[in-house]
């Protein structure tokens, strides 16, 4: 299932992320803000448990989070989305999957993988741009092979081709995106998109 963010601040952030005149410092701030909104959306259904709490006036029963999180950015661009998750959630582990897209073939090459314990945890795979879907499909497969079961894919911009590829390979994985764009061009870049996210994030 595809979940498209519907929030005025999200639309504002996406507009300025798309703007080619946006400088890296502002780009990073906007990426943080829209990732924060996505983090909230992708965890809306997290389970809770009841805890007894003594307020200054009385003892009450209240809700706390009952399931730890694992956040797995796809390097390098996914690093730009990690901080909102670690800022929001007290019980979160971070894993890393390094996949580099060949700009000629658009095929992802794996160069790094480091994952924490996955059993019983909500796993959020984060990658700003879901273009062909090749990197996301590969990352989700690796995580499942290592025991991950409850997965979500979180991206800032998605293309129909990437969404279709993920749904075909991993129909059980919901996708959360801030913008669902029109199509890929001949070079497999998203249109209208926002260019190379990693390059714009880090000014390279």
* Phi, psi dihedrals of residue 97, rounded to the nearest 5°: -130, 120
Q: Which of 105, 146, 172, 182 is catalytic?
A: 105
The reply to whether 200 belongs to the active site is no
∠10-13-18 over CA atoms, to 5°? 125
Annotated catalytic residue 196: yes
State yes or no: is 146 an active-site residue.
Answer: no
Contacts of 23 (CB under 8 A, 6+ apart): none
Catalytic hit among 101, 121, 122, 152: 101
Cα–Cα distance for residue pair 24/122, rounded to 1 Å: 31
Separation between Cα atoms, residue 19 and residue 9, nearest integer Å? 16
Three-state SS at 84: helix
Q: Is the dihedral of CA 146, 148, 149, 154 positive or negative?
A: negative
For the question of residue 105 being annotated catalytic, the response is yes
Task: Report the distance separating Cα 120 and Cα 112, nearest Å.
Answer: 24
Q: 102: which 2 tokens?
A: 């060949």
Residues annotated as part of the active site: 101, 105, 196, 199
């Amino acid at each position: 299932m595809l979940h498209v963010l519907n929030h005025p601040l999200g639309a504002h952030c996406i507009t300025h992320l798309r703007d080619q005149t946006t400088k890296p410092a502002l780009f990073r701030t906007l990426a943080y803000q829209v990732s924060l909104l996505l983090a909230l959306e992708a965890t809306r259904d997290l389970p809770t448990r009841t805890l007894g709490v003594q307020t200054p006036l009385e003892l009450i029963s209240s809700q706390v989070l009952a399931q730890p999180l694992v956040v797995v950015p796809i390097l390098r661009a996914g690093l730009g989305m990690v901080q909102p998750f670690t800022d929001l959630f007290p019980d979160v582990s971070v894993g890393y999957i390094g996949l580099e897209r060949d700009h000629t073939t658009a095929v992802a090459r794996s160069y790094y993988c480091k994952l924490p314990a996955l059993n019983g945890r909500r796993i959020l795979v984060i990658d700003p741009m879901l273009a062909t879907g090749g990197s996301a499909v590969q990352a989700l497969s690796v995580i499942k092979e290592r025991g991950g079961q409850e997965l979500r894919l979180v991206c800032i911009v998605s293309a129909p081709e990437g969404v279709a590829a993920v749904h075909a390979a991993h129909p059980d994985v919901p996708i959360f995106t801030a913008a669902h764009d029109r199509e890929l061009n001949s070079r497999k870049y998203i249109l209208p998109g926002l260019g190379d996210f990693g390059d714009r994030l880090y000014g390279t």
